[in-house]
């Protein structure tokens, strides 16, 4: 990671000694660690927006369990990758967690390599996802500035239609289409048709104008 700011690992475990040990291990790998004794405490303290982060959660905790927290975070559209730490042979819980999008599932006792590798992956993924999310947000912002006619034109261009086909589709002249097309290109800050198609892919293909 050549990120200027180290990624943050949120560690939630009700067992003091386990929590302290894991925190030390994660810390030794160069991450920031924020440890919580319960999911409730974590939720009450958040939200957390400072860079890439992941969650290391004990599945079995009094009060809100790891899975409960996962559900709540999902509902809150908090998309930190979650690494579950679980006791021996807790297969149904693991499956459930993985289906809900857990990054990894590490049995106790935890091997440092497993955990750290998993954290690294999670953090990387978190960083990537953050970057992608940021790009889409920019593109979407640009797209939001398009007029409805421009949006329609962009969508049809992205589908690969020729100007005259678009003019026919829209019931307008080819020339008008050309103007719109140029404006779209400008507004979307793309240079080529191919670039435009890629951007449209990213923000989706609005078949209908977004209003």
The nearer residue to other proteins, 88 or 211, going by C-beta atoms, is 88
The nearer residue to other proteins, 17 or 192, going by C-beta atoms, is 17
CB of 18 to other proteins, least distance (A): 5
Alpha helices in the chain (DSSP H): 16-28, 39-45, 66-75, 91-99, 112-144, 148-158, 163-170, 174-187, 193-203
Give the alpha-carbon dihedral of 56, 57, 58, 62, to 10 degrees.
150
CB of 67 to other proteins, least distance (A): 12
The nearer residue to other proteins, 7 or 64, going by C-beta atoms, is 64
The nearer residue to other proteins, 15 or 120, going by C-beta atoms, is 15
CB of 88 to other proteins, least distance (A): 5
> Which residues lie closer than 8 Å to 133 by C-beta, 6 or more apart?
none
Pull the structure tokens for residue 159: 């589908």
Q: How far apart are the C-alpha atoms of 81 and 122, rounded to whole Å?
A: 6
CB of 204 to other proteins, least distance (A): 40
Q: How far apart are the C-alpha atoms of 136 and 156, rounded to whole Å?
A: 20
Question: Which residues of the chain form contacts with other proteins (CB under 8 A)?
Answer: 14-15, 17-18, 20-22, 24-25, 27-29, 60-63, 65, 85, 87-90, 108-112, 115
The nearer residue to other proteins, 7 or 115, going by C-beta atoms, is 115
Whether the Cβ atoms of residue 61 and residue 14 lie closer than 8 Å to each other: yes
Q: How far is CA 71 from the centre of its chain?
A: 16
CB of 112 to other proteins, least distance (A): 4
């Amino acid at each position: 990671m050549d990120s200027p700011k180290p990624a943050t690992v949120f560690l939630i475990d009700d067992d003091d000694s386990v929590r302290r040990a894991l925190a030390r291990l994660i810390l030794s790998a160069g991450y920031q660690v924020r440890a919580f004794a319960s999911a409730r405490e974590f939720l009450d303290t958040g939200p957390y927006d400072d860079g890439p982060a992941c969650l290391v959660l004990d599945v079995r905790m009094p009060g809100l369990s790891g899975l409960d927290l996962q559900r709540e975070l999902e509902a809150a559209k908090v998309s930190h990758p979650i690494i579950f730490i679980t006791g021996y042979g807790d297969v149904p819980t693991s499956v459930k967690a993985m289906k809900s999008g857990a990054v990894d599932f590490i049995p106790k006792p935890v091997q440092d390599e497993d955990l750290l590798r998993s954290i690294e992956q999670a953090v990387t993924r978190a960083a990537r996802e953050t970057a992608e999310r940021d790009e889409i947000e920019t593109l979407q912002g640009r797209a939001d500035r398009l007029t409805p006619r421009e949006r329609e034109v962009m969508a049809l261009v992205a589908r690969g239609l020729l100007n005259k086909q678009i003019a026919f589709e829209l019931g307008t002249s080819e020339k008008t289409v050309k103007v719109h097309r140029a404006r779209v290109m400008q507004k979307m800050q793309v240079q080529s048709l191919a670039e435009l198609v890629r951007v449209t892919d990213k923000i989706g293909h609005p078949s209908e104008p977004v209003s």
